Structure 1
Amino acid sequence: MSGWRRPAWWAVLLTVAGALLFVRLGVWQLHRADEKEALLRRYAAAGSAPLRDFAEVAVAPPADAFPRVRVRGQFLPGRAYLLDNPRHDRRGGMEVYAPLRVRDGQPLLLVDLGFLPGNGTDRTPDLPPLPVGAQDLHGLYLAPPGSGFEMGGNSLARQAHWPKTTIYLDLAELSADLGQPLYPRVLALDADPASIYVREHALDVSAMPPARHRAYAFQWFSFAVAAVAIFLILHRRRRTKKTD
């Protein structure tokens, strides 16, 4: 006699559909992990890529690419923003951004000058004066750091003195604060040993790195195996004990 009970059609259908769905989700997570790794490789290679003219990518930068550009312009005197989101130094500090005028009548370019380490206190670090006159700059043309919900709304409008401090970098808020449009990306300057700023730019994938995608893929594949195993266990014929 067979050791299996004949399953109902709906039980077979649910098991197959569930297993296929879990496998599909697992494959999708593996695909996302490969995409993230390819993105990180492109970012790592961008730091040594040949320089391009900023005008080529200013308005419509290529998606999922990090062009290294050169640009000439003048900083707006006395205008700077401090991103209070320390990443490089345990003593705290600020990422410093300054708007650059490339040409009259065109949007401003927000320049990431780098990270200015703190001194272990809550006092805002002393900001050196911005360079005066035309500047030749080069670096990666990157998407701005992600913004989020800021309690109390836009804090820039309530600050009367420069530099202004913010916990999120929202280009729309900065544009309204400056009264001029901004280009859609930020120029992250190349490292300079002579600069007091720490310029160690990294692509932030901490929320979902490739390893986490692979962990989720393993989880989905495990669900597929579990669905089949449960189906087999429930439809296995139990042996009855013989009695004298």
Structure 2
Amino acid sequence: MTRQHTRRLGWVLAVAAVVAFCLLGRWQLQRMHYKQSLLVQATQARDRPWALADALQAPPALRWVEGEGAFLPQVLLLDNQLHAGQAGIRVYQPFRAGGGASPVLVDLGWLPLPGDRRMPVLQPLQGRFQLRGLLAPPPSPGLALGPPLAATAVPGRWLASRIDMAATAGALGYALSPQVLRLDPALPIGHVRDLDPLPNMLPPARHLGYAVQWFALALAVLVLALVLEWRRRRVPRAVP
């Protein structure tokens, strides 16, 4: 390969790296803006409460909701959930609000797991309840490895590695709302919980930090390529 060909290949690789790093930085900025929007919506949602049945039939959005309905008997246990630095599970149970809407998974809160990972003995909630809380997207799945659900020894109970609505609906045997209901912590049911709209997700500031790193790498590659090109031009050519 001639020196000219090597130079061209080097520039092609440098430009490809700069473009890739810029695209990654842009994606991180998009994630930052998306999560900032979620935080603003969550703050404003309490000022405009919805009836739960109406919200479940509307396009998905962060909404503060209130409504009556009945819990269905199945239970979903979301694994690998941290609270105050301790590992545990998050308990979900489907809830039917009526009005023709699909049932919604209700986040009943967090429970710790012992060192032997023995699952807690849980009794599904039964009967009618008046609920209120934040209708929000399900938790971020993170890196999706392996099947999302595994059956447990208890009928009607599944251990989930992530919230996959399609897989969960298939296991339950009926359609589900694409969102989950984060219960108001003041309600006297369920377990430890809060209304953080970004559970187990990176905050906007972290995305901004990652975006700066990607753009800095793009700039570094460009500067390095320009320096190498400048040095190449300064090297005197051999006289035949």
Matches of 2:178 and 2:226 in 1, distance apart?
A: 49
| Residue-by-residue CA offset, 1:129-160 (whole Å, 9 max, x unaligned) | 52521323221321344273436x8523x755
Partner secondary structure for residue 34 of structure 1 = helix
Partner secondary structure for residue 86 of structure 1 = strand
Partner of 2:65: 69
Matches of 1:90 and 1:219 in 2, distance apart?
A: 32
Find the partner of 2:146 among 146, 150, 167. 150
Give the partner amino acid of 1:73: G
More helix as a share of residues: 2
Partner of 2:59: 60
Matches of 1:134 and 1:189 in 2, distance apart?
A: 12
Shift of 1:162: 4.2
Partner of 2:88: 93
Shift of 1:101: 0.7
Q: How does 1:73-222 map to 2 (within 5 A)?
A: 73-76=69-72, 78-103=73-98, 105-127=100-122, 129-130=124-125, 132-146=127-141, 148-150=144-146, 155-156=150-151, 159-192=153-186, 194=188, 196-199=191-194, 201=196, 202-203=198-199, 204-205=201-202, 209-222=207-220
| Residue-by-residue CA offset, 1:20-63 (whole Å, 9 max, x unaligned) | 6655555544443433332232233333322234424645215x
Q: Which has the higher contact order (CA 8 A, sep 6+)?
A: 1
Matches of 2:79 and 2:19 in 1, distance apart?
A: 41
- Mark the runs of 5 or more structure 2 residues left unpaired by the alignment: none
| Backbone CA RMSD of aligned residues | 3.5
Give the partner amino acid of 1:187: L
> Is residue 23–residue 220 contact of structure 1 (8 Å, CA) maintained in 2?
yes
TM, length-normalised to structure 2: 0.74
Find the partner of 1:45 among 34, 40, 48. 40
More strand as a share of residues: 2
Count of aligned pairs? 226
Matches of 1:60 and 1:44 in 2, distance apart?
A: 18
> Is residue 119–residue 125 contact of structure 1 (8 Å, CA) maintained in 2?
no
Give the partner amino acid of 1:61: P
Matches of 1:162 and 1:92 in 2, distance apart?
A: 23
TM, length-normalised to structure 1: 0.73
Shift of 1:97: 0.4
Partner secondary structure for residue 193 of structure 2 = coil
> Is residue 71–residue 126 contact of structure 2 (8 Å, CA) maintained in 1?
yes
Change (3 A) 1:167 1:89: farther
| Residue-by-residue CA offset, 1:80-107 (whole Å, 9 max, x unaligned) | 1111222215443210000011216542
> Is residue 50–residue 63 contact of structure 2 (8 Å, CA) maintained in 1?
yes
Matches of 1:69 and 1:171 in 2, distance apart?
A: 20
Give the partner amino acid of 1:219: L
Matches of 2:84 and 2:155 in 1, distance apart?
A: 26
Give the partner amino acid of 2:186: D
Partner of 2:30: 35
Partner of 1:238: 236
